[in-house]
Amino acid sequence: MDPDAEPFIKVQSVSKFFGDFTAVDSVDLEIYKGELFSLLGGSGCGKTTLLRMLAGFENPSTGNIFIDGVNMNDVPPYERPVNMMFQSYALFPHMTVENNVAYGLKRDGMGASDITRKVEEVLDMVELTRFRKRKPHQLSGGQRQRVALARALVKQPKVLLLDEPLGALDKRLRETAQFELMNLQDRLGITFVVVTHDQEEAMTLSTRIAIMDNGRFMQIGTPTEIYEFPKSRLVANFIGNANMFEGRIIENGQDHVIVESKEVDCKFYIDHGLSIQEGSKVWIALRPEKITISKQAPASQSSNTLKGMVQGIGYLGGHSTYRVQVADKLIEITSPNNNRPKDGNPPIDWDEEVHLSWEASSSVVLSS
């Protein structure tokens, strides 16, 4: 991303109130041209309200929204350079696929022959040419989703807003549709803003993700940043799973930090400095796949190791998940099944004592 680039969408301290309820709470956001930006959060977190404000269906109670440098506050939806793909698709049931797609072009006053050509092009792109004479109720869910996409894309908007674009599809279809969506975005270079509650979907699709809760952004960053360096326990728990340990900083050096957790009687050695005061209360987040599980004790046992009892094993083919009891805590570990059981050591079994260990770079220190 060009660091000097002007943001294409600028949300400036925007709030939205519905009566006493604050749906969006004074948020700031900058989205750049060509991004595939996701708003991720649970239901009622304000992500859809924010999207609807971008589309113009709701007006901000306070604050400003700029798209391509123009303040959108008094611009009605039908004059905004954005198009939306609705969660329900909102296809016009009394019109054929062809007429649904042509609807927006007709509103622009485009000539009939141009409309026909453009509709053909876009239907070809989403592979629906065969179905152009059908009505929406004669299509499958996946086909309807593609009509909705075609209808929004044919207008060549500056920004495409997508509200849970894959939410109504079944799992298998969703995976292919995800990649189709990414390819399309890449090819057309249109800025996509996606609302989703599915963290996996957000991780796969997005260039950047904003995690929302209670109308505020918890963290904005690339999928890697958010997964590897969550800023709070909420974010760490929302994206993927994390084992959480409460502790206190007992040593804060130039190039390392040591956190002691009384909960599991363990010292966490972290191989970089932190700007948190010594003695303050922190939490350690440790991803299940960063922990090594073994029946042999590791060489050094002074820090970054735990000893516990296997309470559960879930065999998932490609990998297994283990639940290990350490003091009062159940710790989750996922481990790839690289070796066939008969090749190596006897496999770990229930109620066995195991050793857990992890790299000094694996733990993330969270202050909130």
Partner 1 sequence: MNAVTETIEPSETAQHTLGHRLGYLLQTNWKRLIILVPFLWLLVFFLAPFFIVMKISVAEAVIASPPFTPMLDWAEEGVMQIRLVFDNFAYLWEDALYVNTYLNSILIAGVSTILCLLLGYPMAYAIVRSSNTTKHILLLLVILPFWTSFLLRVYAWMGLLADQGTINNLLIALGIIDQPIQMLYTTFAVYVGIIYTYVPFMILPLYANMEKLDWELLEAAADLGAKPMTTFFTITLPMTTPGIIAGALLVFIPATGEYVIPDLLGGGNVLMIGRILYNEFNANVDWPVASAVAIALLIVLVVPMMLYQHFQSKADSS
Considering only residues 2, 20, 94, 341, which one is a binding residue for partner 1 as defined by CB under 8 A?
94
By CB under 8 A, tell whether 141 contacts partner 1: no
CA dist., res. 262 & res. 74, Å (int): 56
By CB under 8 A, tell whether 155 contacts partner 1: yes
By CB under 8 A, tell whether 84 contacts partner 1: yes
C-alpha count within 13 angstroms, C-beta hemisphere, residue 196: 27
Residue 53 or 310 having the CB closest to partner 1? 53
Could you list the beta-strand ranges (E) of 173-265. Answer: 191-196, 208-213, 216-221, 243-252, 257-261
Residue 58 or 201 having the CB closest to partner 1? 58
CA dist., res. 213 & res. 234, Å (int): 9
Closest separation in Å from C-beta 161 to partner 1? 9
By CB under 8 A, tell whether 107 contacts partner 1: yes
Q: Which helix (H) or strand (E) holds 12?
A: strand 9-18
By CB under 8 A, tell whether 86 contacts partner 1: yes
Closest separation in Å from C-beta 33 to partner 1? 21
Considering only residues 46, 60, 104, 308, which one is a binding residue for partner 1 as defined by CB under 8 A?
104
Binding piece for partner 1, criterion CB under 8 A, among 17-25, 54-62, 241-249, 316-324: 54-62
Give yes or no for a contact between 61 and 137, defined as CB atoms under 8 angstroms apart: no
By CB under 8 A, tell whether 77 contacts partner 1: yes
Give yes or no for a contact between 25 and 71, defined as CB atoms under 8 angstroms apart: no
By CB under 8 A, tell whether 42 contacts partner 1: no
Give yes or no for a contact between 268 and 284, defined as CB atoms under 8 angstroms apart: yes
CA dist., res. 348 & res. 346, Å (int): 7
Per CB under 8 A, residues contacting partner 1 are 55-57, 76-79, 82-84, 86, 88, 90-94, 103-104, 107-108, 151-152, 155
